[in-house]
Amino acid sequence: MSLYCMTCNTPWEGEGDEYICPRCGGSIASDNCLEKHREEFRRLLRAGSREGIWGYQKLLPYEPHIRPVSLGEGNTPLLKAEGLGKRLDMKHLYLKNETLNPSGSYKDRFSTVAVTMAKEKGVASLALGSAGNAAGSVAAYAAKGELPCFVLLPTAAVRERAWQIQTYGARMIGMECSIAECIHFVQKGVPVLGWENVSTTMKYHPWASQGYKTIAYEIGRQMEFGAPDWVFCPVGGASLLGKVYQGFEEMFRLGMIPHIPRFAGIQAAGCAPLVKAYRENRRSTELWKEASTIAFAIADTETFEGVTALDIIRKTGGLAVAVTDEEILEGLKLMASSEAVIGEPASASVIAGVQKLRRKGVIEKGDSVVCIISGSGLKDLPLIAKSLPGYPVISGETLNCGEDSAVMAELRQYCCV
């Protein structure tokens, strides 16, 4: 497969370890030669896959003979969020529930491809910089693939995520810095420490990032190839937004969907370099000085795919939106109490974004909206618990209390819903 720039379509002929277009700074992607295999790909997408993302292997950058390192990732449900839709005054709201992937996030779609590629190359060990989701995912697939894995994690990250990583057998290295700086240090260590950099950014892995496209393929089939009006993505480094867009664009070029959705990139107000660049009408992002948000999974001070993400948002008529931590927590509770999906704060940011744009009238009641729920909140329960209300505690002695007792009066009031 050849490589090209997703923003200006210039063929990639560069060398080295960083895949950035020298002409425009856009992200590099692999070309599937759609026109050459048009009918074959149409049949494949229409049939769907019982094998998770590897059922789409011909649309991924691997040969058919390769044996994937897989944990059964992909084929996540697209839920019609009727209860949440009522609360947000929307008729066609959907949740693409990526929390049901093996390690609990959409990153598994990257990791299965990256670790498979590493096994084929015969690398000695893997390393990445991450706030938790990518690290937990790569650690899981490294364990399955019997490869040593080293994780550089910011010390400010949620500690429960570190426990998951270590349980898979990966070795932790804490760094007192941002996610972006961890990723840069991993790359610096490649020639010195001999590991393979599997940080989940298209800057270093344009091939493995192709795994994210399968989210769009699945949505297309789940909606019977009637594309939604909007797709809402949480944005940290912006690989997810870029590759989900590419998946929809490929289906559109193959004549399988009527249009490409509008894309909304959602960031936490405490770390929003993409939103800032969008508002200032710039074509690239700047480094965010210091991240401050509970949505640590998207607290990337550097938007690695910023040029491409801004281009996608603008050419689809989309938006970049910032939401506060308070709005994120409200969205998290709304989603959990309405649809029984507990997303991490980064995932809940998209619900907060939908709520904000619906209130402003940007989204119409009848618009079809798909929210990518990128990761599970079960990894962040201690953090979430801080925002939850208290509850009454009853002594065992009250088992014999009368119906007119003060305890029963208190419970009648508490249980009145």
Domain co-membership, 230 together with 366? yes
pLDDT of residue 50: 83
**Mean per-residue pLDDT for 194-216?**
88
Report pLDDT for 285. Answer: 97
- The secondary structure element, H or E, covering residue 231 is strand 230-234
In the chain, the percentage of residues whose pLDDT exceeds 90 is 68
Q: If pLDDT is split at 50, 70 and 90, which confidence band does 158 have?
A: low
In this prediction, residue 309 carries a pLDDT of 98
| Distances 88 to 93, 223, 224, 387 between C-alpha atoms, Å | 9, 21, 25, 21
Token pair of 32 as six digits = 């599937």
Closest to 164 measured CA to CA, from 141, 145, 137 = 137
Q: pLDDT value at position 261?
A: 99
Same domain, 13 and 82: yes
Q: Which residue range is the domain that position 75 belongs to?
A: 3-104+207-382
The answer, yes or no, to whether residue 399 has pLDDT greater than 80, is no
Of residues 175 and 372, the one with the higher pLDDT is 372
Domain count across the chain: 2
Residue 252 within a domain: yes
Residues contacting residue 47 through CB under 8 Å, at least 6 positions apart: none
Tell me the C-alpha to C-alpha distance, in Å, between residue 60 and each of 63, 80, 99, 154, 230: 9, 28, 22, 31, 25
Phi and psi for 19 in degrees, rounded to 5?
-105, 85
Query: What pLDDT band is residue 66 in, cutting at 50, 70 and 90?
Result: confident
Work out the burial of residue 30: count CB atoms within 10 Å of its CB; fewer than 13 is exposed, 13-18 middle, 19 or more buried. Answer: middle
The answer to whether residue 220 scores a pLDDT higher than 90 is: yes
Pair (222, 295) in one structural domain: yes
Residue 409 lies in a domain: no
Q: Is residue 415 part of a domain?
A: no
φ, ψ dihedrals at 354, nearest 5°: -60, -45
Do 166 and 192 lie in one domain? The reply is yes
Residue 401 lies in a domain: no
Same domain, 301 and 268: yes
Under 8 Å between Cβ of 333 and 385: no
The answer, as to whether pTM is greater than 0.85, is: yes
Per-residue pLDDT tens over the stretch 189-200: 999 999 999 998
Asked whether residue 31 carries a pLDDT value surpassing 80, the answer given is: no
**For residue 241, pLDDT beyond 70:** yes
* 172 part of a folded domain: yes
Query: Confidence band (pLDDT; 50, 70, 90) for 290?
Result: very high
Instruction: Say if residue 214 is in the same domain as residue 188.
Output: no
In a shared domain, residues 127 and 154: yes
**Residue 280 falls within a domain, yes or no?**
yes
Please list, in sequence order, all residues whose beta carbon lies within 8 angstroms of the beta carbon of residue 44, skipping any fewer than 6 positions away.
55, 56, 58, 59
> Which pLDDT belongs to residue 13?
80
Q: What is the CATH number of the domain that holds 127?
A: 3.40.50.1100
Domain check: are 364 and 231 in the same one?
Answer: yes
Residues 99, 113, single domain; the answer is: no
- 403 occurs within a structural domain: no
* Spatial CA neighbour of 44 closest among 313, 286, 310, 247: 247
* Ramachandran region, residue 11 (left: φ > 0; alpha: ψ -120 to 50; beta: rest): beta
CB 294 within 8 A of CB 324: no
The CA-atom distances, in angstroms, between 287 and each of 215, 220, 274, 277, 345 are 28, 35, 10, 10, 22
pLDDT digits (tens, 9 = 90+) for 339-362: 999 999 999 999 999 999 999 999
Choosing from 146, 166, 197, the residue where a domain stops is 197
CA–CA separation, 16 and 333 (whole Å): 45
- 153 plus 254 within the same structural domain: no
> Domain boundary residue among 162, 197, 232?
197
Nearest one of 257, 303, 295 to 276, comparing CA atoms: 303
Which domain-ending residue is among 149, 168, 197? 197
**Residue-level pLDDT at 154:** 85
| Residue 77 shares a structural domain with residue 138 | no
Residue 260 confidence (pLDDT): 99
Looking at the predicted structure, is the pLDDT value of residue 393 above 70? yes
Partners of residue 197 on adjacent β-strands: 127
Same domain, 36 and 152: no
